Structure 1
Amino acid sequence: MTEQNSRLGIGLMLAATFVFSAQDGISRHLAGQYNVFMVMMIRYWFFAAFVILLATRQAGGIREAARTTMPWIQGFRSLLLIAEVLTLVTAFVILGLVETHAIFAVYPLMVAALSGPILGERVGWRRWVAIGIGFVGILVILQPGFGVFSPAALLAVAGAAMFALYGLLTRYCGRSDSAATSFFWTGTVGAVAMTLIGVWFWEPMAAGDWAWMALLCVTASLAHWLLIRCYEVAEASVVQPFAYFQLVFASAFGVTIFGDALELNVVIGALIVTSAGIFTLVRSAIAARAMRRDGAR
């Protein structure tokens, strides 16, 4: 991988995290005004149209994009992402962007912890220590036992756990299915499932909010496209640590636009979680390089 491509990949990751943060802010606004099921249904309609358009532009078309050796797992991981999105958007409304993203930042540590039992990957003692430190950071954020703990914070914890499992199942499917196939299933299954739920919660939307809804759909698709391009031009080990900038961008939106409070315990806890997560990503990259070297001998 050339340095130029690495720089481009980092730039694309930063752009993706910024757009994802803007998307989260718009989701919080709309879900605060309208039923979250309806909002997510419309978002998934646009998402499905986007993945179908991408599929038609690739070799083999939609038939090839839909081809999978594990339809049940692909379907389950797609439904799991729906549950995660609904949970996280609800947390945005109740907790705010700052606290939700500070807690959600623990998901890479959850991925590392679960990669052993689910994927059979070896997790060394250094990464286990980092995982433990990261969860200490979550306790700093949640402050259980200090009289200020909000049970709603468990929504963000649940969202992080679901997204971690979704990521692991995506990697598991990636052993036989292409990324395009997983992306196609995510969008189409999600749209069908959300339509079955969301149509029962339809309500009139103000003209101005339809503009926000359109922007939500555009940002959702743009963010995914930026992420796809990012992984096409640079190694995941290079760009993944920069995904933590989503916490920075989301916090900035939360404080400046929605008036979220920037509590000291949340800042300290987020720094602990982020540091532990970056260390875990670095150790994973080192382990992957060592395996490739051993395999080349």
Structure 2
Amino acid sequence: MVTITARPKAQQGEESFPAGIALAFVAFALYSGMDVTIKLLTKNYAVPQIIALNSLFALGPILAYAALFGGLYNNLRTRRPIYHVIRATCGLFSSFFAFWAYSRMPIADAYALAFTAPLFITALAVPILKEPVGWRRWSAIGVGFIGVLIMLRPGSGLINTGSLAVLAGALFYSVGMLVTRRARNTETSVSFAFYATLASGTVFGAMTPWLGRMPTLHDLGLSAIGGTLCGVAFVCLLTSFRKVPAAVAAPFQYSQIIWGVLFGWLVFGDVPDRTLFIGLAIVISSGLYILYRETVLGRQVTAATKRDCA
């Protein structure tokens, strides 16, 4: 997952809704392609080694984008290094839990549970950012977690280490997103992606001599494909947010369930059941409503600020 901060004012004139939406859709498809390579590699390799290799190959497209759009210095310099440390730490845990879960459950099932992230973000915004959350959004959070319970079906045996790992990953991801939001006025989106990816490659790479094994050329190529897909997906998503508002592009993350079901069926022979789709529909509806409310409230704050400055 990638965090996008507010677009620079100089880029407002670059808006193109068809191109922005298409790029967002492509980005999330590429992320799903990366997840397929991760799941394939978990059969033979430890998750830290997989993440280390993935991070190594993802750095190329990220650095290329930073160099082309604003320069490496402007994009990667930081005024608040502590935020990058916290964000990178959250990224370490969220990526480990998510990738480890892929070895325990179908991709589509993991995606369905990972879509709880907007619910966690809204709930945690109160203690972390001191942002007020009204009864409408609290209600949406409650409804969303009912959807989670429907997907997990307590007592059915579906509450296992894999599903709990996905939820833990979504929780760490959410904390990381809130840290990024708090630092959006001083740090760039590219810097968060770069330092988090660099940290993952360094920390998990240090574990590889003890946990890893020499990859075959085939698997090294698979890692290269997955990491490159991750980096290119980030570039596509960041470009998308240069062309359309965040509220327009963000909901397309839910399109990943399409790719999760399709790739899971074609590559792994996994077919989700009807109950998962019912719970998923509830979670997505809750997430979209929260996004809608935050967009409406954001417009109200902007309008009030303009009135005060008039």
The TM-score normalised by the length of structure 1 is 0.93
Deviation per residue, 1:243-286 (Å, 9 max, x gap): 11112211221122211131222111111101111111111111
The answer as to 2:292 corresponding to 1:287 is no
Distance 1:220 1:84 in 2: 15
Residue of structure 1 in register with 2:219 after alignment: 209
Greater mean deviation of Cα atoms: 247-256 or 133-142? 247-256
Q: CA deviation at 1:148?
A: 4.5
SS of 1:33's equivalent in the other structure is: coil
Matches within 5 A, 1:36-185: 36-57=47-68, 59=70, 61-62=72-73, 64-185=74-195
Distance 2:268 2:216 in 1: 20
Unaligned runs of 5+ in 2: 1-11
Greater mean deviation of Cα atoms: 270-279 or 199-208? 199-208
Contact 1:173 1:182 in 2 (8 A): no
Contact 1:140 1:269 in 2 (8 A): yes
Residue of structure 1 in register with 2:17 after alignment: 6
Residue of structure 1 in register with 2:198 after alignment: 188
Residue of structure 1 in register with 2:3 after alignment: none
Q: Which amino acid aligns with 2:147?
A: G
Contact 1:254 1:260 in 2 (8 A): yes
Q: CA deviation at 1:197?
A: 2.0
Distance 1:148 1:193, change over 3 A: closer
SS of 1:152's equivalent in the other structure is: helix
1:33 pairs, out of 24, 44, 47, with 44
Distance 1:220 1:11 in 2: 17
Q: Which amino acid aligns with 1:149?
A: I
SS of 1:32's equivalent in the other structure is: coil
Distance 1:125 1:3 in 2: 37
Contact 1:48 1:191 in 2 (8 A): no
The answer as to 2:269 corresponding to 1:259 is yes
Distance 1:207 1:237, change over 3 A: same
Distance 1:3 1:70 in 2: 29
SS of 2:177's equivalent in the other structure is: helix
SS of 2:154's equivalent in the other structure is: coil
Q: CA RMSD in A?
A: 2.0
Distance 1:151 1:206 in 2: 29
Q: How many residues are matched?
A: 296
The TM-score normalised by the length of structure 2 is 0.89
Q: Which amino acid aligns with 1:241?
A: P
Distance 1:39 1:60 in 2: 30
Greater mean deviation of Cα atoms: 181-190 or 239-248? 181-190
